[in-house]
Amino acid sequence: MTTPWWQTCVIYQIYPRSFQDTNDDGIGDLRGIARRLDYLVGLGVDAIWISPIYPSPMVDFGYDIADYCDVDPSFGVLADFDNLLVQAHRRGLKVLLDLVPNHSSDQHPWFAESRASRESQKRDWYIWRDPAPGGGPPNNWISDFGGSAWQWDEATGQYYYHAFLREQPDLNWRHPAVQAAMYDVMRFWFDRGVDGFRIDVLWHMVKAADFPDNPPNPAYRFGMGEMHRLLQRHSTDQPEVHRIAAEMREIADSYGARGQGARVLIGEIYLPVDRLMHYYGGERPEMHLPFNFQLIDTPWQARVLAAVIANYEAVLPPGGWPNWVLGNHDRPRVAARLGQAQARIAAVLLLTLRGTPTLYYGDELGLTDVVIESSDVRDPRELREPGLALGRDPVRTPMPWDDSENAGFSAVRPWLPLHADWSTRNVTRMAEDPQSILALYRRLTALRRDRRALSIGSFVLLNVQDDILVYERRHAAERLVVALNLGERPHRLQLPEWVRDSRLLLSTAEDAALVEDGVLLLGSNEAVVLEAG
């Protein structure tokens, strides 16, 4: 029985505007990704997910799509994508695209036709409603980026719904023609050879048919962002979304359901874990991997993490494969949240937990959130709700390749500024330093490849105390122990009997931990992987 690649792989997210520029416009492009594929092979990842590359006015930097079946000129042309795919596949790398089915750009021809008149053939492709009886928006729903989620259209005298920007009208997924059109988009890219999709805001796609007001959120506090005033009870996570997710899965499976040829679907879903589990599917399979963002949101404390991991393992449905994420293009970077020392421990955690890990570009260098001067702000989220630290520019800054001008990212000033220490915190420099976090990531991916216990083995929590988290990964005769110190204080840990004669496979510290008489001396901010026998 062969394990499908998406269970054993390490996924690497690329924010294409910020990875590598090749035509001197300060914006990363597809040729740039192709140029850096050998870096990714050396890093030891197996699949890349590329944030949207399609034609877009870039109001939300590609999450506002004006044509689902082409490439934006700032990223290149379709032939560049085809070439990237060939080059990636030649190196054994899978390529996942970002599918954004919930909404299009307001510049998409579908929306132009829809808004043209109430009688338009495509009127119902989007969500149009009359004003509330007393006037004003049809209900109280709030955009995730602040303000009413309803935009008045003077010409046709109705409101349209947008869960995000007004430039991102939501498609009406209750309409069969919309479903058919988006399924054709999936086929377009599957036919070209892509290995799967990360699906944007999957849980948003269907709204309650009668559009009731959302209830207030009792936990709302100023500073959380206006969207959190209300619970998104009726605007998201509706039962009907599951049939759509299952149909998407059927399309993916029709291109490859097993082994190396499998096509994979990853759902972006921000929901409590019990709700998240439904997106694996019931009678019919849905997402291969509903993104598990808990490591991003969980306080960095051993007991809390242990509880989160144990609960997640416990509620996974039969056959449901776990996955873990430390960061993405919307959330603070891991090194900004935890600091450099613990970012290394987080790397060990991400790559030794049971389940498919997704790594965000730059986190392997310990990039932190870059301070963006107000004149440099680009993210519409920051522009709409300034000063609440909701902006996402800080985590989308250019990848630093070397200490040449603009860090080898571009010959010209990049679209967002580089981090301050780019002349030392860059790929070339860190690759030479065996103690760098980059070197640590390389050792971790190599170890994960080498030890089936890490990729497909079982998981058992062994010890949780103070700042210490210890667990076992086991496959057949292979038994590994992972011990993490989430704090500064060194610890002496009594090891279980079976691991007394153990070998140290990896340590994050320069002078690695010692095992003496069955006691592990775990240093400050140190994580180790031991192998029994």
Residues that bind Ca ion in the complex, under the rule CB under 5 A: 21, 23, 25, 27, 29
d(CA 450, CA 458): 16
SS3 label, residue 469: strand
286 binds, among Ca ion, ligand TEU, none (CB under 5 to 8 A by kind): none
Distance of CA 57 to the CA centre of its chain: 22
Give the DSSP H/E element, type plus range, for residue 383. helix 380-384
Shortest reach from residue 60's CB to ligand TEU, in Å: 5
In the complex with ligand TEU, which residue's Cβ is closer, 270 or 422? Answer: 270
Binding to ligand TEU by residue 29, rule CB under 6 A?
no
144 binds, among ligand TEU, Ca ion, none (CB under 5 to 8 A by kind): ligand TEU
Q: Which of 84, 201, 295, 454 binds ligand TEU (CB under 6 A)?
A: 201
List alpha helices for 45-175, DSSP H. Answer: 78-90, 109-116
Say if residues 335 and 436 touch (Cβ distance below 8 Å).
Answer: no
Distance of CA 7 to the CA centre of its chain: 16
In the complex with ligand TEU, which residue's Cβ is closer, 235 or 525? Answer: 235
d(CA 275, CA 93): 32
Count of residues near ligand TEU by CB under 6 A: 11
Say if residues 227 and 217 touch (Cβ distance below 8 Å).
Answer: no
Q: Which of 5, 128, 270, 401 binds ligand TEU (CB under 6 A)?
A: 270
Binding to ligand TEU by residue 100, rule CB under 6 A?
yes
Which residues between 407 and 426 bind ligand TEU (CB under 6 A)? none
27 binds, among Ca ion, ligand TEU, none (CB under 5 to 8 A by kind): Ca ion
25 binds, among Ca ion, ligand TEU, none (CB under 5 to 8 A by kind): Ca ion
Binding to ligand TEU by residue 106, rule CB under 6 A?
no
Shortest reach from residue 82's CB to ligand TEU, in Å: 25
Q: Which of 72, 106, 167, 200 binds ligand TEU (CB under 6 A)?
A: 200
Binding mask 330-369 for ligand TEU (x = CB under 6 A): x---------------------------------------
Q: Which of 60, 80, 385, 393 binds ligand TEU (CB under 6 A)?
A: 60
- Residues with catalytic function: 200, 268
In the complex with ligand TEU, which residue's Cβ is closer, 67 or 330? Answer: 330
Residue whose beta carbon is closest to Ca ion: 29
Return all residues near 24 (Cβ < 8 A) that are at least 6 apart.
410, 411, 412
Beta bridge partner(s), residue 414: none
Shortest reach from residue 21's CB to Ca ion, in Å: 4
In the complex with ligand TEU, which residue's Cβ is closer, 46 or 144? Answer: 144
Say if residues 171 and 104 touch (Cβ distance below 8 Å).
Answer: yes
Shortest reach from residue 446's CB to ligand TEU, in Å: 30
Binding to ligand TEU by residue 63, rule CB under 6 A?
yes
Distance of CA 338 to the CA centre of its chain: 18
List alpha helices for 193-315, DSSP H. Answer: 241-255, 273-276, 294-297, 302-315
Say if residues 461 and 306 touch (Cβ distance below 8 Å).
Answer: yes
Shortest reach from residue 503's CB to ligand TEU, in Å: 41
Q: What one-character DSSP code corresponds to residue 230?
A: B
CB neighbour class for 133 (10 Å; exposed up to 12, middle 13-18, buried from 19) = exposed
Q: Position 402: which residue type? A: D
Shortest reach from residue 63's CB to ligand TEU, in Å: 3
Q: Which of 144, 363, 467, 531 binds ligand TEU (CB under 6 A)?
A: 144
Say if residues 406 and 413 touch (Cβ distance below 8 Å).
Answer: yes
Binding to ligand TEU by residue 164, rule CB under 6 A?
yes
In the complex with Ca ion, which residue's Cβ is closer, 31 or 429? Answer: 31
**Residue 41 neighbours by CB distance under 10 Å:** 14
Binding to ligand TEU by residue 167, rule CB under 6 A?
no
Structure tokens at 413: 């000033």
Say if residues 131 and 83 touch (Cβ distance below 8 Å).
Answer: no
The radius of gyration computed from the CA coordinates of the chain, to the nearest angstrom, equals: 24
Q: Which spans of this chain sit near ligand TEU (rule: CB under 6 A)?
A: 60, 63, 100, 144, 164, 200-201, 268, 270, 329-330
